[in-house]
Amino acid sequence: MEEEEQEEEEEEEERKQEKLNRNDDRKKETVKEGGTAEDRIRMRKKRKWRTGRSAWKKKKEEKKKKKKKKKKEEKEKEK
């Protein structure tokens, strides 16, 4: 009886360990894009930040251009 219970417990532990290993293998699998799923998520976040930042930079540059244009027009009017 005790031997059977011990064998069952060992089998359960083995199954749990196999399941954990399978999950780890899935995480480590690389995808066509390259990298694990975690890497892809990290890159997606970076991409979002970059796009937001570039849009912000463009707006800032446009404002600078408008200011320069206004100053030029004012100087021309003064002349």
Q: How confident is the model at residue 33, as a pLDDT?
A: 53
- Higher per-residue pLDDT: 46 or 70: 70
Q: What is the pTM of this model?
A: 0.33
Q: Write the CB contacts of 74 (distance below 8 Å, at least 6 apart in sequence).
A: none
Q: How confident is the model at residue 63, as a pLDDT?
A: 92
Q: Domain coordinates of the chain in residue numbers? A: 2-78
pLDDT tens for 4-60 read 888 888 888 888 888 877 766 666 655 555 667 777 788 888 777 776 777 778 888
CA distance 14 to 8: 10
Q: How confident is the model at residue 25, as a pLDDT?
A: 67
Q: How confident is the model at residue 65, as a pLDDT?
A: 93
Q: With b meaning 16 or more CB within 10 Å and e meaning fewer, what string describes 27-60?
A: eeeeeeeeeeeeeeeeeeeeeeeeeeeeeeeeee
